[in-house]
Amino acid sequence: MSRIAYVNGQYVPHAHAMIGIEDRGYQFADGVYEVCEVRGGRLVDERRHMARLDRSLSELRIGHPMSPAALGMVMRETIRRNRVRDGIVYLQVTRGEMKRDFPFPPEGTRPSIVVTSRSHNNARNEKAAEAGIAVVTMPDIRWQRVDIKSVALLPNVLAKQQAREQGAKEAWLVDGEGRVTEGASSNAWIVTRDGVLVTRPLQTGILPGITRSVVLDLIAREGLGFEERPFTVQEAYEAREAFVTSASQLVMPVVQIDGRPVGNGAPGLVASALRRDYHSQAEFI
């Protein structure tokens, strides 16, 4: 079955989808994106993702390509045309196409929008979660506005590649004080030996993950012990459990950090329970 992409007002075969070479996303990484989970053919946590998209756009002063209602329809239509039941929908908005020049293009330049969707292999994801993943730590060399979900992901690309070359699935980025900021494409969590969940606060060099926010609601609902504070790499080595969160991986147990086993080296009970219960807290509309 051929894949379909939505590009600036049209549904086109994925293989023939095109954006101009003067698009500012291509020239300057001048754009933002979102990745939403699709489950049972439905969008998960659309409202939170759209709120974050709004914020990313307004922080960069990029206009809206279309109304939120129209965008919701385009995302659903893209999911439908690609026959995705379980997977993700990806959307990217850039400042549009204009002769290459650093300052913003003139008022009225239309932002570009691309929406794609693809299926996940659920069985493979569940198997990965049952095994857990390895992470390696490395310095966080990103810019100071990582709270914006910008397509400028070169440091993340390099980190992820380094992780892969070291046999790990994810990189944990570390600030100048030896504290974990987040993963290259996920938020980072530990469970201390006392059973307290710990994750880094917003406004301290992380992306406000949507999965993170849903997990926080789940933790509050279940009355679990929780501290929102930075944690060091050393604390992570000594943790009982560790995991990462993202829309594509949900809650993914971490069983090894820098080659050392976390806890007993198997996915932890807390992480596994949060993964199991995640969708009872997520919003489907």
Q: Of 27 and 150, which CB lies nearer to ligand PMP in the complex structure?
A: 150
State yes or no: residue 212 binds ligand PMP (CB under 6 A): yes
Q: Of 29 and 35, which CB lies nearer to ligand PMP in the complex structure?
A: 35
d(CA 82, CA 90): 12
**Tokens coding 264:** 């007993």
149 and 187 in contact (C-beta within 8 Å)?
A: no
Site string for ligand PMP, 49-88 (x = CB under 6 A): ----------------------------------------
d(CA 107, CA 169): 42
Per the annotation, the verdict on 169 as an active-site residue is no
Q: Which of 211, 256, 272, 281 binds ligand PMP (CB under 6 A)?
A: 211
State yes or no: residue 160 binds ligand PMP (CB under 6 A): no
State yes or no: residue 8 binds ligand PMP (CB under 6 A): no
Smallest distance from ligand PMP to CB 147, Å: 10
Smallest distance from ligand PMP to CB 94, Å: 17
**Tokens coding 28:** 């300057």
State yes or no: residue 181 binds ligand PMP (CB under 6 A): no
Catalytic residue among 99, 127, 149, 169: 149
State yes or no: residue 43 binds ligand PMP (CB under 6 A): no
Q: Which of 137, 185, 199, 281 binds ligand PMP (CB under 6 A)?
A: 185
Q: Which of 210, 252, 254, 262 binds ligand PMP (CB under 6 A)?
A: 210
Q: Of 186 and 256, which CB lies nearer to ligand PMP in the complex structure?
A: 186
Site string for ligand PMP, 244-263 (x = CB under 6 A): -xxx----------------
Q: Of 27 and 185, which CB lies nearer to ligand PMP in the complex structure?
A: 185
Nearest alpha carbon to residue 135 among 191, 178, 173: 173
State yes or no: residue 186 binds ligand PMP (CB under 6 A): yes
Q: Strand pairing of 170-174 and 133-139?
A: parallel
Measuring CA to CA, how many Å separate 55 from each of 72, 148, 168?
17, 8, 32
* Listed ranges 120-128, 207-215, 261-269, 277-285: which one lies at the site for ligand PMP (CB under 6 A): 207-215
State yes or no: residue 275 binds ligand PMP (CB under 6 A): no
d(CA 270, CA 239): 12
Q: Which residues lie near ligand PMP (CB under 6 A)?
A: 35, 182, 185-187, 207, 209-212, 245-247
Active site residues: 149
